[in-house]
Chain A
Amino acid sequence: MRPKNLFLCLRFQTISSRLFFEKRFYGIQKSSADEEEFDKLNIMPRMFVKGDREPLAKREALRPQLTPRYNRMPVDQDWNSVWPTAKMFNPSAVPLPVHMGKLKTVSGPKPPPGKFANPELMKVPNFLHLAPPAIKKHCDAIRKFCTPWPQALTDEMCDKYFPLEVITSDYCHASPTIREPKARIITIRIKLSSLDLDYHAKDKLKRILQHRYDPKTDLITIVADKCPLKSQNIDYAKYLLTACFFEAWKTESWESEKEQSDWETFFWEKSPSKASLINYFKKTFQNFNEENFLEKDTVKDYSKSVKNLFDKEENDELLEDYRKNVEKLLFDERL
């Protein structure tokens, strides 16, 4: 009887310190009837005592079956208390049919495996602690530290006093790392009208910015992604905007060489169209007064239609308008 001897030896050596061990293996029983009475000491380990308990298989068969925890959860439970903080995925606590991963078998691809014993789900960080009610709870908790939004500060005033808009992006997705290189890319936006510029500087800034200025919305958009960090990129974009602004105010010597093909819009006053019209009337009338002539409505209409022809996309309506105005000048105009 070797095991018996072995356990006896153990018992004698560690009798005081291993009460728990004793309880499990030797069945030290406290009688509830009489506190004073000593517990019965069974020397023989319970596993070797015949007829003491039901066999394991039978015990398991008799044990009442509990439904899994995730099925026992009520629909209106407080999820925040189930999953209060960030932790590894636990299938029994999540009442959702989550699938993740890939299965490649000989017979072809299979649907992604479910949540049980799924290492893919355990590897990735999850955001089950960030459900909307939980966030709301957090917000409610920190609300007492916030002050209310100033009532007088409307959207228009925001545009006026805080014209620069910095757009950054944070990424959270299922991967082993929380770093995302795209998060460094930032965009700054500002309305051109909110900058203090004169006509020349405005035109030059538009030319410097090229596609970064949208004439429809009047917005300047600068995207920076050169530096490794978000804050560095924000600084860089602000530097670019500043540099462009001050460059726009400069007038270089070569800017006087601007030709008609460089005009941002058609200037009838400077154009050969005006010269040829005045030439025409000088030849027609002896006592031709240029200043009075240029103030006439017909001339103004004509200049407008020529400007339209150059600035807008040429079409039949614009040409018809041009024809009418030219007709008035060529046939009916008197001094």
Chain B
Amino acid sequence: MKHVGVDHIDSQYFVLPKSANDALFKLSGWRQNHKQMFEMFEETAIMVRKPFHDLLNYLSRTDFERPVNRYVLYGEFGNGKTFTLNHFLYHCFLNRFLIVHCSSPYEWVFTPQETAQSEWKSGRIDTPVEATIALKTFKDQNAALLSELDLRTSKKYTWSLRETTEEGEPLLNLIDYGLNRMKKASDCYAVLLKEIKHWANEGKIKVSVIGDVVNVLYLGESKVLNPDKTTAEMDNITIARAFTKMLRNDWKNGLVVVAVDSSDSFRDKVGRLTGERFGPDLPKYLLTEKGFQDLDPFIPIKVDKYTENEFENCLDYYIRKNYVNHPAAKTEMGRKEIKFMSAYNPLEVYKFCWLL
């Protein structure tokens, strides 16, 4: 398969065009501290690193007639899993993949803004706000492709007595219906993913499913309460259930790239830097038995800490952007100290340079 894309030079910064950034990561994708950083630097710069090249390499070797391949990014907190994912998402965008992106599944299952009982199936829990955001994200990310491909529904969906989506209606109508009727947004998202799977199987589109921190979807119990005040199971939250179905390899013409991460809030910086970890950052442990069952066979890709060269480039970039101003930080000894204090962890380098 031939790729469209800019030439990526290893361990150099690649600047994401502003238009693309707005289209792809308007509602989700970057976390708050990422946005703050991009605002400060006045550009969205992503370092081209080894895991991204690995993904490109795999993508070029992929036979899309086979069931989808699953790639699992893992690595310590702050090593750049989200950046790699988003970089790859942009690459998929350029190569005309339909993108199903879930950047924060923990919001779906741990802290949904609203919950409601599903009207489609009793026992299921709807999360209207999160579902609407997911629908909007999907619409934003695939706006051009959707209008061009003219995808239509394969089945008739009856939402209520009066509201139905007929067979052969454009998918955009379905999305718009979900956006207008927040109550039905969760079911709409589930139906949308089902339709995407269907059209991918038909060979009409190529789909790239991208998910960050997906291991929270396999923890078993969510923090959402059922009407009888018991905690709901992960599988009973409509959109989480629909998204985990996309991670299975029962369809083709697509690829699944997910990242796993341990819960950040529990982890302390000292432990991370000294190597005494809170728990392993390794995929089998994080995915749990159920997740491993679902994803196996997958390709684990390690997102490692900075290499020597990458660290130098990163610091050069910070100096060029006047993020690092202290004269001592620009000397050889200063660089060595930053290396030592940050232990080559990209996030720690950023945090440490905040003071300089």
Taking beta carbons and an 8 Å cutoff, which residues of A are in contact with B? 260-261, 272-273, 276-277, 280, 283-284, 302, 306, 309-310, 314-316, 319-320, 322-323, 326-327, 329-331
Give the tally of cross-chain contacts (CB within 8 A): 59
B302 at the interface (CB under 8 A from A): yes
Quick check: B296 and A283 within 8 Å, CB to CB? no
Contacts A283-B67, A330-B66, A331-B61 given: A319-B289 contact, CB under 8 Å?
no
Centre residue among A261, A314, A319, A327 by max chain B CB count within 10 A: A319
Across the two chains, which residue of chain A brings its CB closest to B66?
A284
A323-B299, A323-B300 are known; give 8 further A-B pairs, CB within 8 A.
A273-B297, A276-B293, A280-B66, A284-B66, A284-B67, A314-B284, A326-B298, A330-B297
B215 at the interface (CB under 8 A from A): no
Tier of interface size on chain B: 20 to 34
Across the two chains, which residue of chain B brings its CB closest to A284?
B66
Distance from A267 Cβ to chain B, minimum over Cβ atoms (Å): 14
Across the two chains, which residue of chain B brings its CB closest to A310?
B284
* Chain B residues, CB < 8 A from A306: 296
Quick check: A319 and B282 within 8 Å, CB to CB? yes
Quick check: A314 and B285 within 8 Å, CB to CB? yes
Taking beta carbons and an 8 Å cutoff, which residues of B are in contact with A? 58, 61-63, 65-67, 69, 74, 249-250, 252, 280, 282-285, 289, 293, 296-302
Contacts A261-B289, A330-B66 given: A319-B249 contact, CB under 8 Å?
no
Distance from A333 Cβ to chain B, minimum over Cβ atoms (Å): 10
Majority SS at the chain A contact face: helix
Quick check: B66 and A315 within 8 Å, CB to CB? no
Distance from A304 Cβ to chain B, minimum over Cβ atoms (Å): 13
Contacts A276-B293, A330-B69, A331-B61 given: A309-B299 contact, CB under 8 Å?
no
Q: How far is the CA of A241 from the CA of B58 in the complex (A)?
A: 57
Between-chain CB contacts (< 8 Å), 8 pairs: A280-B249, A280-B297, A283-B250, A284-B67, A314-B284, A326-B297, A326-B298, A327-B299
Contact of A314 among B61, B67, B282 (CB under 8 A): B282
* Chain A residues, CB < 8 A from B250: 283
Distance from A325 Cβ to chain B, minimum over Cβ atoms (Å): 8
Distance from B344 Cβ to chain A, minimum over Cβ atoms (Å): 16
* Chain A residues, CB < 8 A from B285: 314
